[in-house]
Amino acid sequence: MWEAAVNFVRMMIRRVKHLVPRSNGSRRWLKALFFLFVCVTIIALIFTLHLYFSCRKIVDAHLKTDRWSLPSTIYADAPMLYEGMPLKQAWLVEYLQRLNYQKTDEASPDTAQYAVLKNGIAFHKRALFKTQSAIPPVLVQFDNDGISKIINITGKDELAAFELEPAVISSLFGSEWEKRTIIQFNELPKHLTQAVVAIEDRRFYQHGGIDFKAIIRAVVNDVMGRKQLQGGSTITQQLVKNFYLTPARTISRKLSEAMMAWIMERRQTKDEILEMYLNEIYLGQRGAMSINGVGEASLLLFRKDVQHITVPESALLAGLIQAPNYYNPYKNPAQARSRRDTVLLAMKNTGSLTEEEYEKYVKVPMVVHPFDARINLAPYFGDVVKSQLLDKYKEETIYTQNLHIFTTLDLDMQRYAEESLSKGLDEIDKLRFKRTKQNAQGCLIAIEPQTGYIRAFIGGRSYSKSQFDRISSASRQPGSVFKPVVYATALEQAFAQKSRIFTPATIVVDEPWTLHYSNQTWEPKNYDGQYHGSTTLRNALAQSMNVATAKLAMDVGLKEIAGLGKKLGFESVKAYPSIALGAFEVSPWQVATAFTVFANGGVKTELRTVKKVAGADGKTLERSQIEVERVLHPQTAYILTDMMETVISSGTGAPVRRWGFTRPAAGKTGTTDEYRDAWFVGYTPNLLCVVWTGYDDNTPIKMTGAQAALPIWVQFMKKATQNLPAEDFSSPQGVVVAMIDPETGQLATGDCPSAVAEKFISGTEPTQTCQQHSSHWWKIFG
Amino acid sequence: MKYVLRLISVFLILFAISACGPKKLKPGEPAPTTPPPTTTPSQPPPPSQPPAETPKPQQPPPTPAKPPLEVPQMKPRQPSKADPASAKLMDAGAKQLNAGNLDQAEELFEQALRVSPTNGKPYYYLGVIASRQKDNERALGFLQQAENYLHTDNFWMSQVLYQEGLTLKAMKRIPDAKKKFQDALDRDPGNQYASKELKALGIK
């Protein structure tokens, strides 16, 4: 097109030359000039039309589609408030503050506001979607035990439960790391639009997209070397430049910009243009992520929804537009303050502020919220969520379609997990770093066993240093953490019509022992090198006796153990003797899955990360279900849990109590060969947690599970269970209790030196009274 | 006579030694020379239960037919403070279920579970939903969880067992289904649905 136009001009010049007479007659000159004018006009018209149609095509196409590629957002699980919940008032206030709710004195707060009243906390939940029906403000009342009432302030009715707004964990970005919170024009405070118009384009509401006065003023100021309060580009021009053009300073780009601005003004109202502009503009960086739009900038700088910002805060935001990095209030507070005051002055000059208001606001100190560079509160978890989503959605959809991904993660628990793991690994380093010259690694996963919800997920010590997720991808030996599977297989024999029945009171002899198996010999040893002689299965598990467990495994059957192991989720388990001591590889994810069965009355629950996926409009695209499968009899699961309670009350897990965790809990320590892995797995009736510690290169950590992993577990569980109701493990039907002599496993009599209450699957309880401690008379005459 | 007297004196000495022998223990009480008990510190006998017999110093020698010690009772699930809120959510869920809105109902029952994860009733309803969705294995999983928490409540257990029976029947496991219907009827003889199913399966 351009070439054709140039050729046309050349041809015209040749014709003009031909027309110009050698005699220089004035009439012929005029004719020639007129001809030239007509040609230029035609050319200009062609150019203009071409420019118009090409620009119109671009603008119209853009306005018909989504204006921004918005990343998907991953949300944490929304806390559920309910009557009777053991929750402190301070927790609720802190949670609302964390979600940028603003404090107010109104008894019926506005959206994203809360009020601390005499009779409780009133707040008004934000709607995540524009299409969502109105959410009424609520009043949460407290007594000494926690929440006493939840009242709908508008309807005055009581609510059984109320789901809070979920917190954002992270966003899923593609190649463009732009974060943007879309704001509608009616949500923008008037003083913000006034500030922006005052400093960027005073005649915004008067011009038609191009402000010729401003251009002339800018040129004059430029020539005269004067300081300019505002440039020559209008807001509409800036908007189209950001949307469609490059920043190159060429005439063709400027012409396109002007044409597009003119077209835009004919397609959109002024308010719509301003809304787009304020959502589009770049306003700084947060780590690798760029902050675009006043909605996102307001959250970053003031921790406020933009509708709640003050006049000086509006002025600060408006001032940032010209040079976001130069006027960055964190890096250059003096320049930012000065620019803010300039905007306030402009507002006064345009009549948006009175003299008094200006004097008042210009004295207000510039306050911004401390900078928080963290853009992902659970990076390992986010990776798992992302990889699961990629199985179902296209990359482009995830990165650009603003999906809302509601997950199971509890952000409080996640924070406790991070703190506990970090502190625990630091303690290990204090003891081990000098020898190993490397930092210990670890991971922690916490699950609600009944639903399989993952509540906390830390795949390693530092995501920035290593993105390798040790929970789902590491292969480590489970060691003694696998022993409960051996004992579960033994207890299950009661239902399998086997000739030999095992109970927690079954006696097994812990002594030096050699197994000859498939032309090989295997001689398991206890970790402490001690042997305990005759003991019950309960005690053998509590003290994590290797020889006793290995002998039990041979009695129970390796195929049966491997079979149950597979059902529980240990994919690589095979039927050979050393599986009894966990000599094969598993991931912490698998360990967690398996233990849900014990914690959940024999029912396996698949671990869940995502609860629901919704589109940008709030329409549900996918809802994940609780997946359950019966694996063990409930009686087996209950008795095994009871045996693992003994691990904590008086076995290898006893430090749990010494460290101050007092709730009913069951657990198992795990230490592998040469102390390469240290595990602790434990659960209360409503929370299960797996902790692994070790080194990535398999260097021995030289600590037991009780020494390295257990303290992390305790630190986490103490905090994580504080808002959960305290409950005990409840027994299913078909479990009976009998008093037995722990030395013989038989029914205790009054002559036994000690008697303990033991639990049995109904029908497997011993029937014979203790023969060893019968009375002298019984021995003589019986 | 001298030997008879000697025999009597030996007899008396033995009697005295026997009377001063090892002390009888209450359930769960540790012996002085042994480690602390390894089980059930949280499960003392209920208060209504008479305490275990304690030895009297001058008690006659024990008889060979001496019974084993009395034992503490199993403790079922205790009501939770979260149960009332969970119940209200379940009511809302049940309304959705009756209206045939399975997705909304499932969401509400899951919320009820979140509030009180050890309450058995939401599991029952989730089992009903899974069963309606023809996901029988999943249904049985939920119903087992319901059983674990509801086994002391005859009415609810009867409902759970009946639902298990229906699920097993749908899986063509007729003998297992019959047993569940019978168990449901045993738990609650007024459960007419279980009775009808048994009749339909040819059992009087």
Model pLDDT for residues A163-210, shown as the tens digit of each residue: 999 999 999 987 778 888 889 999 999 999 999 999 999 999 999 888
Of the spans A9-13, A310-314, A531-535, which averages the highest pLDDT?
A310-314
Tell me whether 0.95 is exceeded by the ipTM: no
Residue-range definition of the domain harbouring residue A773: 735-781
Which residue is listed with tokens 């020898």? A435
- The verdict on whether A26 is a catalytic residue reads no
**DSSP secondary structure of A701-746:** ----HHHHTHHHHHHHHHHHTTTSPP-PPPP-SSEEEEEE-TTT-S
Tell whether B167 is covered by a domain.
Answer: yes
- Restricting to A residues 8-67, those with a Cβ less than 8 Å away from any Cβ of B are none
**pLDDT tier at A247 (50, 70, 90 boundaries)?**
confident
The encoded tokens of residue A730 equal 């409840």
* Cα angle for residues B147, B149, B153 (degrees, 5° grid): 80
Residue A601 has its nearest CB partner, among B110, B115, B148, at: B148
A152 and A181 belong to one structural domain: no
pLDDT at B54: 32
pLDDT at B108: 92
Q: Which residues pair with A114 in a beta bridge?
A: A103, A123
pLDDT at A753: 85
Model pLDDT for residues B157-167, shown as the tens digit of each residue: 999 999 999 99
Task: Choose one of A128, A159, A190: the last residue of a domain.
Answer: A159
A52 and A94 belong to one structural domain: no
Taking residues B27-54, report their average pLDDT: 32
Q: B28 pLDDT exceeds 70?
A: no
Q: A5 pLDDT exceeds 70?
A: no
Taking residues B75-79, report their average pLDDT: 71
Taking residues A472-491, report their average pLDDT: 96
Contact (CB, 8 A) for A16 and A220: no
Tell whether A25 is covered by a domain.
Answer: yes
Tell whether B2 is covered by a domain.
Answer: no
pLDDT at B83: 84
Across chain A, mean pLDDT equals 90
Contact (CB, 8 A) for A377 and A169: yes
**pLDDT tier at A714 (50, 70, 90 boundaries)?**
very high
Rounded CA gap, A681 and A588, in Å?
10
First CA to last CA distance, chain A: 119
Tell whether B180 is covered by a domain.
Answer: yes
Model pLDDT for residues B120-165, shown as the tens digit of each residue: 999 999 999 999 999 999 999 999 899 988 988 999 999 999 999 9
pLDDT at A252: 81
SS3 string, A57-85, reads HHHHHHHHCCCCCECEEEECCCCEEECCC
Among A165, A178, A200, A645, the active-site one is A200
Q: A731 pLDDT exceeds 80?
A: yes
A192 and A143 belong to one structural domain: no
Q: A693 pLDDT exceeds 70?
A: yes
Best mutation target, A754, A761, A771, to test chain B (most B CBs within 10 A)? A754
Q: A518 pLDDT exceeds 90?
A: no
Answer whether A750 sits within 8 Å of B18, measured CB to CB: no
Model pLDDT for residues A250-275, shown as the tens digit of each residue: 788 888 888 999 999 999 999 999 99
In chain A, the percentage of residues whose pLDDT exceeds 70 is: 96
Q: A419 pLDDT exceeds 50?
A: yes
pLDDT at A507: 94
Closest residue, chain B, to A735 (C-alpha): B74
Task: Choose one of A316, A343, A362: the last residue of a domain.
Answer: A362
Contact list in A for residue B141 (CB cut-off 8 A) is 603-604, 628-630
- In this structure, is the dihedral angle defined by the CA atoms of residues A292, A293, A299 and A300, taken in order, positive or negative? positive
**pLDDT tier at A23 (50, 70, 90 boundaries)?**
low
- Restricting to A residues 720-759, those with a Cβ less than 8 Å away from any Cβ of B are 725, 727-728, 730-733, 735-739, 742, 747-759
pLDDT at A275: 95
Q: Kindly report the nearest CA distance between residue A748 and chain B, in angstroms.
A: 6
Helix (H, G, I), strand (E, B) or coil at B29: coil
pLDDT at B22: 38
Which residues 6+ apart lie within 8 Å of B76 measured at CB?
A: A730, A731, B151, B152
Helix (H, G, I), strand (E, B) or coil at A604: strand
Taking residues B15-44, report their average pLDDT: 36
Contact (CB, 8 A) for A421 and A574: no
User: Higher model confidence: residue B139 or residue A498?
Assistant: B139
Task: Choose one of A342, A362, A382: the last residue of a domain.
Answer: A362
The encoded tokens of residue A267 equal 């397609």
Going through A89-144 in order, the beta strands assigned E by DSSP cover: 102-103, 113-117, 120-123, 138-143
A112 and A223 belong to one structural domain: no
**DSSP secondary structure of A232-297:** SS-HHHHHHHHHH--S---HHHHHHHHHHHHHHHHHS-HHHHHHHHHHH-EEEEETTEEEEHHHHH
Tell whether A486 is covered by a domain.
Answer: no
Radius of gyration for the alpha carbons in chain B, expressed in angstroms and rounded: 28
pLDDT at A179: 85
When divided into structural domains, chain A yields a total of 4
A21 and A94 belong to one structural domain: no
Rounded CA gap, A773 and A586, in Å?
45
pLDDT at A72: 93
**pLDDT tier at A105 (50, 70, 90 boundaries)?**
very high
Q: What kind and span of H or E run contains B200?
A: helix B192-200
pLDDT at A119: 87
Contact list in A for residue B24 (CB cut-off 8 A) is 750-751
Tell whether B26 is covered by a domain.
Answer: no
User: Higher model confidence: residue A272 or residue A67?
Assistant: A272
Answer whether A777 sits within 8 Å of B61, measured CB to CB: yes
pLDDT at A500: 87
Which residue is listed with tokens 């769960």? B28
Which residues 6+ apart lie within 8 Å of A745 measured at CB?
A: A503, A505, A506, A507, A536, A766
In eight-state DSSP terms, residue A31 is H
Q: Kindly report the nearest CA distance between residue A634 and chain B, in angstroms.
A: 7
User: Higher model confidence: residue B204 or residue A420?
Assistant: A420
Tell whether B4 is covered by a domain.
Answer: no
**pLDDT tier at B76 (50, 70, 90 boundaries)?**
low
Contact (CB, 8 A) for A686 and A671: no
Answer whether A448 sits within 8 Å of B117, measured CB to CB: yes
A200 and A268 belong to one structural domain: yes
What is the CATH classification number for the domain harbouring B127? 1.25.40.10
Residue A754 has its nearest CB partner, among B34, B62, B76, at: B34
- With CA atoms as reference, report the closest residue to A487 among A423, A582, A422, A393: A582
- The verdict on whether A200 is a catalytic residue reads yes
A108 and A254 belong to one structural domain: no
Which residues 6+ apart lie within 8 Å of A87 measured at CB?
A: A81, A142, A146, A147, A723
Tell whether A165 is covered by a domain.
Answer: no
pLDDT at B35: 30
Q: B59 pLDDT exceeds 70?
A: no
Tell whether B67 is covered by a domain.
Answer: no
Tell whether A329 is covered by a domain.
Answer: yes
Model pLDDT for residues A605-625, shown as the tens digit of each residue: 999 999 999 999 999 999 998
What is the CATH classification number for the domain harbouring A90? 3.30.2060.10
In eight-state DSSP terms, residue A306 is G
Tell whether A136 is covered by a domain.
Answer: yes
Model pLDDT for residues A553-597, shown as the tens digit of each residue: 999 999 999 999 999 999 999 999 999 999 999 999 999 999 999
Tell whether B40 is covered by a domain.
Answer: no
Residue B111 has its nearest CB partner, among A80, A85, A634, at: A80
Across chain B, mean pLDDT equals 73
Answer whether B70 sits within 8 Å of A739, measured CB to CB: yes
When divided into structural domains, chain B yields a total of 1
In eight-state DSSP terms, residue A671 is E
Tell whether A325 is covered by a domain.
Answer: yes
Model pLDDT for residues B168-177, shown as the tens digit of each residue: 999 999 999 9
The encoded tokens of residue A97 equal 């503050």
**pLDDT tier at B20 (50, 70, 90 boundaries)?**
very low
pLDDT at A248: 73
Rounded CA gap, A284 and A261, in Å?
25
**pLDDT tier at A66 (50, 70, 90 boundaries)?**
confident
Rounded CA gap, A31 and B149, in Å?
104
Q: Kindly report the nearest CA distance between residue B166 and chain A, in angstroms.
A: 17
Answer whether A725 sits within 8 Å of B80, measured CB to CB: yes
Tell whether A567 is covered by a domain.
Answer: no
- With CA atoms as reference, report the closest residue to A271 among A212, A338, A197: A197
**pLDDT tier at A733 (50, 70, 90 boundaries)?**
confident
Q: Kindly report the nearest CA distance between residue B97 and chain A, in angstroms.
A: 16
Check if A158 contacts B (Cβ < 8 Å).
no
Answer whether A739 sits within 8 Å of B148, measured CB to CB: no
Q: Kindly report the nearest CA distance between residue A295 and chain B, in angstroms.
A: 32
pLDDT at A764: 93
Q: A427 pLDDT exceeds 60?
A: yes
pLDDT at A242: 86
What is the CATH classification number for the domain harbouring A180? 1.10.3810.10
pLDDT at A573: 93
Long-range contacts (CB closer than 8 Å, 24 or more residues apart) made by A214-222: none
Residue A160 has its nearest CB partner, among B17, B68, B85, at: B85
Among A170, A233, A480, A544, the active-site one is A480
CB contacts < 8 Å between A and B, how many? 214
Residue B33 has its nearest CB partner, among A86, A625, A753, at: A753
Tell whether A110 is covered by a domain.
Answer: yes
pLDDT at A422: 97
Contact (CB, 8 A) for A281 and A321: yes
In chain B, the percentage of residues whose pLDDT exceeds 90 is: 45
Contact (CB, 8 A) for B124 and B143: yes
pLDDT at A542: 96
Q: B18 pLDDT exceeds 50?
A: no
Model pLDDT for residues A320-360, shown as the tens digit of each residue: 999 999 999 999 999 999 999 999 999 999 999 999 999 99
The encoded tokens of residue A463 equal 């995501």
Strands A178-180 and A289-292: parallel
Q: A127 pLDDT exceeds 70?
A: yes
Residue-range definition of the domain harbouring residue B133: 83-200
